[in-house]
Amino acid sequence: MALVGNIRDFGLSDFLYLVDRGYKTGGLHLSHGEETALLFFERGKLVMAARKPEDQHPDLLVRLGILNEAQLAQARASLANRDNGTTLTDVIIEENLAAKEQFQGALQSFTEEAVYGLFGWPEGEFLFEQNQRPAREAPVIPTPISVDHLIMEGVRRIDEWGRIKDRIPSTDMVVRFLDQPGERAKGVKLAAEEWRVFARINGRDTLAEIARKTNLSEFDVCRIVYGFLTAGLVEVMRQPRPLPVKGGATVADPPRVKRSLVNRIINRIKGM
Amino acid sequence: MQTVKMVISGAVNAGKTEFIKAISEIEVVSTERRATDDTKLIKKETTVAMDFGRIAIADDLVLHLFGTPGQKRFDFMWEILSEGMLGLVILVDSTRPETFRETNRIIDFFVSYRDTPYVIAANKQDRPNAWSPDELRLALRQPPHVKVLPCVASDRESVKNVLLELLYVIQERSED
């Protein structure tokens, strides 16, 4: 079943988070006016991004200087004799037609730039076709890319409050790390400003206080924390609201109910 | 006679009225009016005040179900409706990701200040291209302990299941 929507309503960084945490495999088709893009994911990691139809063609490997024409022809000929589970990328690596590091580096840079450009789209239809995979001859990255740092880079390109305020409605909110942020953070490359904010997160200071301590604007702190949030590194919480107290419990507490009463309701609904 | 209350909330057109109608023993008291704002693009009539349903548990105990209005300009009603509630069902239209942001705002309103027992009902699971409960959990950034349940609000059994799952959450927090 396909997931459809518009990145105006459900942002690309949110979608990448869903793909990452859901270990999704499939093709994400995006369109914005005349522009289109196609991204493929394998178990939550990015394996290919094409902004033009020709970027899905093996000739891309020649254009990027990874192979020459003769090497590409040799790889394609070998692929024709291999089983359906083998990709052109597998053949290139197995037959040493290109050094894996060079292959990975060149194709990864190209793919990342293709994705970064998509964060500039203010809106665009998306359709995620689950379990769709690239063609066997498509230029697929040897080692799939973790989307965490793609999310961080995408968020760096956000320059308006609107989207940030959806997740961070107030600078009076407190930031704290989720479980084992160090492990999650390994895939994320932080810029110097981001490290300054990262180092100030202690579960007590509000965003406004972090802005003051880092000498960054509140907008910059919120944008950076929005990136951490989107990458699943931190959570933001409201500070407890000062409330009048009634009989030792705050008025905001839900009523304590008797188990016997709940059991009666359960039995009644079961019997309906 | 003791009355207890559950609140059914969600964005416009999430299926709140239908949910209450599916389970209420009385004709649901709705205050549906012709939509006058952007809502009219989605549905001709919408709930501008609230829905009210009722289930008699026993001679001495009644469960009231309150559906909140979906539009932002009726936020003030949420505070009133949430006072003293046993628990909360957040309904989501699983086919409309454009409502997920609003759904998060509603969850934030009801849950951030109170430790309210709640479940999320992923409604319209019978429609093509409905996001699955697992996908909705990720889209709404809900932690693993929050129940995100498949739901078809027009189906009584499905509604019963959602209410029961909420009651199990409430049961865990209840006192002997």
pLDDT digits (tens, 9 = 90+) for A122-152: 899 999 999 999 999 999 999 999 998 788 8
With pLDDT > 70 as the criterion, what percentage of chain A qualifies?
Answer: 89
**Contact status of B164 with chain A (Cβ, < 8 Å):** yes
**Contact status of A258 with chain B (Cβ, < 8 Å):** yes
Size of interface A-B (CB pairs under 8 A): 110
Greater confidence (A49 vs A202) lies with: A49
> What is the structure's pLDDT at B46?
59
Distance from CA of B32 to the nearest CA of A (A): 27
User: Mean pLDDT throughout A98-126?
Assistant: 92
Binned at pLDDT 50, 70 and 90, residue A217 comes out as confident
> What is the structure's pLDDT at A164?
82
- Angle value at C-alpha A58, between A52 and A59, nearest 5 degrees: 80
Binned at pLDDT 50, 70 and 90, residue A239 comes out as confident
Cα separation of A154 and A156, whole Å? 5
Nearest to B139 among A10, A167, A259 (CB): A10
Of the listed ranges A143-152, B29-38, B101-110, the least confidently predicted one is B29-38
Nearest to B171 among A4, A166, A262 (CB): A262
Taking the CA atoms of A60, A65, A66 and A70 in sequence, report the sign of the dihedral they define: positive
Of the listed ranges A88-97, A256-265, B32-41, the least confidently predicted one is B32-41
Of the listed ranges A121-125, A223-227, A252-256, the least confidently predicted one is A252-256
Q: DSSP assignment, residue A87?
A: -
> What is the structure's pLDDT at B43?
61
Nearest to B98 among A6, A169, A259 (CB): A6
Whether residue B97 and residue A241 make contact (CB cut-off 8 A), yes or no, is: no
Whether residue B58 and residue A259 make contact (CB cut-off 8 A), yes or no, is: no
Whether residue A254 and residue B168 make contact (CB cut-off 8 A), yes or no, is: no
Q: Which long-range contacts (CB under 8 A, 24 or more apart) does A263-266 make?
A: A263/B171, A264/B57, A264/B58, A264/B61, A265/B4, A265/B57, A265/B61, A265/B63, A265/B167, A266/B164, A266/B167, A266/B168, A266/B171
**CATH says A159-272 is which class?**
mainly alpha
pLDDT tens by residue, A74-88: 999 999 999 888 999
Phi-psi region of B162 (alpha: psi -120 to 50; beta: other; left: phi over 0): alpha
User: In chain A, what residues touch B99 (CB-CB under 8 Å)?
Assistant: 9
3-state helix, strand, coil in chain B (%, to 5): 35, 30, 35
User: In chain B, what residues touch A269 (CB-CB under 8 Å)?
Assistant: 23, 55, 160, 163-164, 167
> What is the structure's pLDDT at A237?
85
> What is the structure's pLDDT at A241?
55
Beta strands in chain A (DSSP E): 3-6, 26-32, 35-42, 45-50, 125-130, 174-177, 234-237, 245-246, 249-250
Neighbours of A227 (CB within 10 A): 25
Looking at domain B2-173, what is its CATH homologous superfamily? P-loop containing nucleotide triphosphate hydrolases (3.40.50.300)
Nearest to B129 among A4, A254, A266 (CB): A4
Per-residue pLDDT at A184 exceeds 60: no
> What is the structure's pLDDT at A220?
87
Binned at pLDDT 50, 70 and 90, residue A156 comes out as confident
Question: Where does CATH 1.10.10.10 sit in chain A?
Answer: 159-272
Domain parsing of chain B, residue ranges? 2-173
User: Mean pLDDT throughout A190-212?
Assistant: 88
pLDDT tens by residue, B119-165: 999 999 999 999 999 999 999 989 899 999 999 999 999 999 999 99
> What is the structure's pLDDT at B172?
93
